[in-house]
Amino acid sequence: MKMVLASKNAHKLVEMKDILSQLGVDVVLESEVGVDVDVEETGTTFEENAFLKAHAVMEASGLPAIADDSGLCVDALNGAPGVYSARYGGPELDDVGRYRLLLENLRGQLDRRGKFVSCICCCFPNGDRVEARGECPGTIAYAPKGEGGFGYDPIFFLPGLKKTFAELTAEEKNAVSHRGNALNKFKTELEKYLHGTNQ
């Protein structure tokens, strides 16, 4: 089965392919099916935004479409940046600018708890949808560390592994990450759906 990823993020494509290929699902980018959809993420939750993206790309391509909406929720910032993680601080900031702003906003703050959240939604042309949510708790480091990953990975610290997300191998990250957790739950739900046992 071919599924279109409602994202232009190549990092997400790799993570999705790794896990969903086990079900015989071939995840492709929008560009590979001649679609270029720009979806306004007007939802107030990760679930709403994932649905908006998946539904729009499914409508445009006529194929099942899968979207992930994810972000970092920091306790001391009342859950911010949350659904605005990719737009935190405005459009002029890049990944490094965003995590520097976050560190600045946490200056002097002793409560460094936070979590990454990922919500996945797949919309099918027949109106069905399959959804899953995954979380990964951790803390916000005082300074970036590691060369891997993207986004806030260099400042998201996992006390159990004593590493930031940016210091993990792809295998380690898939085993513990919010998207890895969500994808594994999604894989289970999709398997049930494909075999007609999710009723």
Tell me the binding residues.
7-12, 40, 69-70, 150-153, 173, 178-179
Tell me the three state secondary structure of residue 150.
Answer: coil
Q: Which residues are annotated as a binding site for substrate?
A: 7-12, 70, 150-153, 173, 178-179
Active-site annotation holds for 75? no
Bind-site residues for Mg(2+): 40, 69
Evaluate whether 14 touches 174 at the Cβ level (below 8 Å).
no
Which of 69, 75, 111, 128 is catalytic? The answer is 69
Q: Which of 122, 111, 126, 127 is nearest to 183 (CA)?
A: 122
Q: How far is CA 36 from CA 24, 60, 62, 143, 199, in A?
A: 25, 9, 13, 37, 33
Biggest alpha carbon–alpha carbon distance for the chain: 53
The residues, any chain, with a CB within 8 Å of residue 43's CB and separated by 6 or more, are 49, 51, 52, 69, 83
Contact 176, 136 (CB under 8 A): yes
Q: Which residues are catalytic?
A: 69
